Each structure stands twice: as C-alpha cells, then as structure tokens.
Chains A and B, each alone.
Chain A
Amino acid sequence: MKKILNTKFFLDISDEFIPKIIIPFGVFFVILVVWELLVYFLRVPVYIVPSPLNIVDRLFEDIVFFIVQSSITLFVAIAGFVIGAFVAVFLAILIVLYKTIGRIVFPISIFLKVTPIIAIAPLLTIWFGFGVFVPLFIVALMTFFPILVNTHFGLYNVNHSSIRFFQSIGASKLEVMKYLRVRSALASFFTSVRICIPLALIGAVVAQFFGSGSGLGWVILVSYNNLDMTTCFAAVLSLSFIGTVLTISISFIENKIIFWSYQ
C-alpha cells in the first residue's frame, strides 16, 4: 500500500516537473548542444560565431567587468524608465482630470512616438555631450509614450456602475481619481511596464553606442570594432539575463499588488 502511494506521489511531481521544467530547459539545452557541435564540426572561426562554451568562458574570465558594465546599463534602463514613467503617469492623471491638457499633450507625444528616438541619439550626444545623461534621456523618451497611453486608458475606462454611484453620492473629481481611477488603472499600467522593459534596454544599449564610454552598449561596440565576437556575445548574453530578471520581477510585483484579478 505504502509503495503504491509513493509511486503516486512521484508521478504527481513528475506531472508538474516535465512540462514546467524539463521541456523549456531541455529545448534550450538541445539548441546549445547543436550550436556547439555545428561550430565544432564546421570549423567556424571564432571571429564569426563563437561556441557557447567559449562565450561562457569569456564571461567568467572577466566576470567583474561584465557585472560592472551590466549594472551601468541596468541603472540607465531603470532610471530612465522611472523618469519616463513618472512623467507619463503624472500627465495621464492630469489629462483625465482636465481634458484641455490632453489636447496639448497628445499631439506632442504622438509626434515624439512616431519619431524614432534612436535616430536623434547622435544629435543629442552633440548637444549634451558624453556620459550618462543622453542614455537616460533616450530611455525616458522611449518608455514615455506606451506608459502614457496605457495609463490614460486604464484611468479613463473604469467600471461604469462604480463611477455612476460615486458621482451620484457627490464624490468630487479628485475623490473619484483617488479612490477609484488610480487603482483601476494599475492593470493597464503594468501591461505597459512589461512592454517597456525591452524598449528601455534597447534605448540604453543604443544610446551607449554613441560614445558613452561605459555600459554593455559600449562593450558591444568596442568588441565589434575589434572583431572580438566572444566578448560581443558575452555582452548580449548579459543583456538577455538582465531582461529576463526584469520581466520576472515585474510579474512578481504585479501579482503582489493586483491581488484581486487573480482569483
């Protein structure tokens, strides 16, 4: 009897284990092995495509260097994002409260959105010089629009019955904003945050291409100029790692804050 129970217990675990852990990681592993074998048997030179083992080797050889450069890029991405998000949320609230502000802000922000911000990065470098300011500014500009639009949508589309009830019992515009709209908008705000993670990373890396002198973007540029593909790939790997960690943390925070939509 006990043995049967044990088997069942084991089966239960494997039911969860196979689809959730083995399959995704297994696929990943197979791709890496195929890559390694292809590079080995086709004798692809290192300056074209390095093998995965080479890349990992390079990464751990200079682990402190990569951690420092990753932190710089991560800082630029997060700080720029926070600035952009802060301005966007503030404006979205103002737009919902006072329609006129929307008529001023939306045309400008749409103009900013359709202009590829990256295209003006060199120009910004000429104006504002090297250093951390231009990357911050570009990341902020890139994340501004998605957050503005989504937060505005969330603030505006609130449960109709709640709003009618609140208005009827005499809640002011500010009270409706404070008690109803802000919390209702959280779901669409987090959607835009998830859209913005890759945008912020792209903004940070591309801005660092233009003579910032530090960060993973700079590492990629320099290694490209030296045909040092291993370092280049190691930097890209660090970027993927940052992106993954950011996505997971955002999902975690979202689940903690919006507890009511996960019944």
Chain B
Amino acid sequence: MKTKMKKYDNDIEVCNLTHSYNINGKLVEIFREINIGFKKDSITSIIGPNGVGKTTLLNIIAGFIVPDTGNVRIRGVSSKEACTQKKIGFVSHDHGLLPWMNVFDNVLLTLTLNRKSNYHNLDEDESKVLQILDQLGLVDWRYYFPYQLSKGICQRVSLARALVLDDVILILDEPMANLDELTREKLRYDLLKIFSLNPRTVILVTHNITESIQLSDFVIVLSNQPAEIVKSFEINFAGKNNLDKVIVPTSVEFNNINNNIRDLLHEKNS
C-alpha cells in the first residue's frame, strides 16, 4: 500500500535484487544487491559481459522468474500484476512471429490480445497497425508470411508488434542481435524516430556499445558474476538525438562515453 501511495517518477523500480541459480548442485550467485530505477519515458540500456545474466534480469523484471530476494515494482504494482494488467511488451532476440499469419495479422493480433476492455474499433486498430508498419518501413511486406521474409525483416515485425501498443513498457532483449551492421543502423534510426514521436519507457539489453549510446538516455554497465552495477551513465550530449542522419554522430562526447564504457567492460572482464 505504501508503494502505491508514493508518487513515482520511476516507471520501474528494482530494489535490493539478489538471485542465484542452482547449477549441478552448486549455488551460483548471479545478482548481488541490484537497485535500478527506470525513469518514465526514457530509454535505458543494460550492457555487460556475456553470460552475466542480463536476460535473467529482464525475465525477473517481466515477472517470468521470481528472484530470491528483493522486489520489482512496475508503475506501482508487481511484475505479475503488470503482466495481467497488460502493461509490458517483451521482445526476445528470436522473433517468435506466428508462422501461419502474415505480417499484418501478426501485428493486429497483438492489439486484440492487449485490449483492456471489450470495446474495440477494427478500423482504428487496422489504421494503427498500418501506421506502425509504415514507420518501420514494412508496409510493402504486410501480406507476406514470416517464412517468406528475411530474418532482419522478421525482427522488424516483432518490434512492430510490440511498438503498436502505445502504453506498454517495452523490454527488448537484444532485438538487433541477429542483424547485420547496415540493417542495424537503419533500424536504430527508425526506432529513434518512433520514440521521439511517442516517448515511452524502454529497457534495452544489448552487446553493442554504439547502439546503447545512440538509442538510450541512460546506460547501465553490469560487472561480471555476481553482477553489480558498475556505473550508470546519463547520456545527453548535444546532437545526440539528431534525426537528420542515419549514421551515428561521432562527436567528442560520444567517443568519451564510448571509450569509458569499453574500458569498464574490459576491466571488469579481466
């Protein structure tokens, strides 16, 4: 009750999170005292060494895994309730589209499932789907089935079906892991444009430092196991949100942060 009364400017709060796995009878500590607040309408990247449990962290936030201690509050309620109240959109690195539905129906189905009341307007839903497909450059592909499309386009569609819900918290687990560099740059640019039009709370896990800096307002660097937060960067240098060009603006500030994060990751890895 106390948390509900509190006025939050953090959309998601992770408090005193510890978690361990039982691997072959040995207890492996994964998280030690993790405290993160994800600000409303901001994009936060989580970056860290391989196998440190970034995906586990996302699964805990989304309520798929119950942590040993600590809790997660999403807009004042627990993760499980947030799921049943239809407040989260979870995109994995594997696109997970329904193979028997074309692109348009795949995206439309999300709106059907996320509907909060019985009232709905099919025309409105369809125009919403068309709009998001247009923003991601997918309109020409809308009658294709996933098996007829390349992996990159399927990945775009899976982002589209999460982005079409405009009031959910997006949890993106390496959404661009399987894509080539050029597709990635283009997709980042499209995402930035969509987020600038319609800001929302996003948690993004990535391996790519450039991607994390360009897309997000905050970057959180995790250490090796047991994972702790090494440092949290706020990214707001001038020209960061420059939407004129697809390519990343490589200014001095950008390079500084980039080198900073890289150093931290190398240091904690060795």
Contact = CB atoms under 8 A, between A and B. Distances in A.
A127 interface: no
Interface in B85-143: 85-100, 109-110, 113-114
**From A164, A166, A263, residue with most partner B Cβ within 10 Å:** A164
Contact of A170 (B94, B109, B114): B114
A169 B110 contact: yes
B64 interface: yes
A100 interface: no
Nearest to B110: A169
A169 B90 CA distance: 7
B81 to A, nearest CB: 10
Interface string A165-187: 11111110001000110010000
Given A161-B94, A169-B113, A260 B62 contact: no
B100 A168 contact: no
A160 B59 CA distance: 12
A168 B109 contact: no
Contacts of A165: 89-92, 96, 158, 161-162
Contact of A164 (B85, B92, B147, B168): B92
B165 interface: yes
Given A167-B83, A168-B83, A169-B86, A161 B92 contact: yes
B113 A168 contact: no
B100 A170 contact: no
Chain B: interface size category: 20 to 34
B84 interface: yes
B47 interface: no
B147 A170 contact: no
Interface SS of A by simple majority: helix
Contacts of A260: 99-100, 145-147
Contacts of A159: 94, 96
A114 B220 CA distance: 57
Nearest to A179: B109
A225 interface: no
A162 interface: yes
A168 B171 contact: yes
A261 interface: yes
B201 to A, nearest CB: 14
Contacts of A170: 83-88, 113-114
Contacts of B162: 165, 169
A171 B94 CA distance: 19
Interface string A82-117: 000000000000000000000000000000000000
Contacts of B92: 160-161, 164-165
B113 A166 contact: yes
A169 B147 contact: no
Given A164-B62, A164-B64, A179-B109, A169 B114 contact: yes
A161 B165 CA distance: 18
Contacts of B99: 260-261
A93 B14 CA distance: 37
Interface string A142-175: 0000000000000000011111111111110001
A160 B147 contact: no
Q: Which of A163, A166, A170 has the most CB of B within 10 A?
A: A170
A3 B252 CA distance: 72
Contacts of A164: 62, 64, 90, 92, 96
Contacts of B62: 164, 168
Interface in B143-160: 145-148, 158
Contacts of A161: 91-96, 158
Contacts of A171: 113
8 contacts: A161-B96, A162-B98, A165-B162, A169-B114, A170-B84, A170-B85, A259-B100, A260-B100
Interface of B: 62, 64, 83-100, 109-110, 113-114, 145-148, 158, 161-162, 165, 168, 171
Please provide the 4 A-B residue pairs with the shortest distance between their CB atoms, ordered closest to farther: A161-B96, A170-B86, A168-B90, A162-B96
Interface of A: 159-171, 175, 179-180, 183, 259-261, 263
Given A161-B92, A168-B62, A170-B84, 14 more contacts: A160-B92, A160-B94, A161-B95, A164-B64, A167-B64, A168-B83, A169-B88, A169-B113, A170-B113, A179-B113, A183-B98, A183-B100, A260-B145, A263-B147
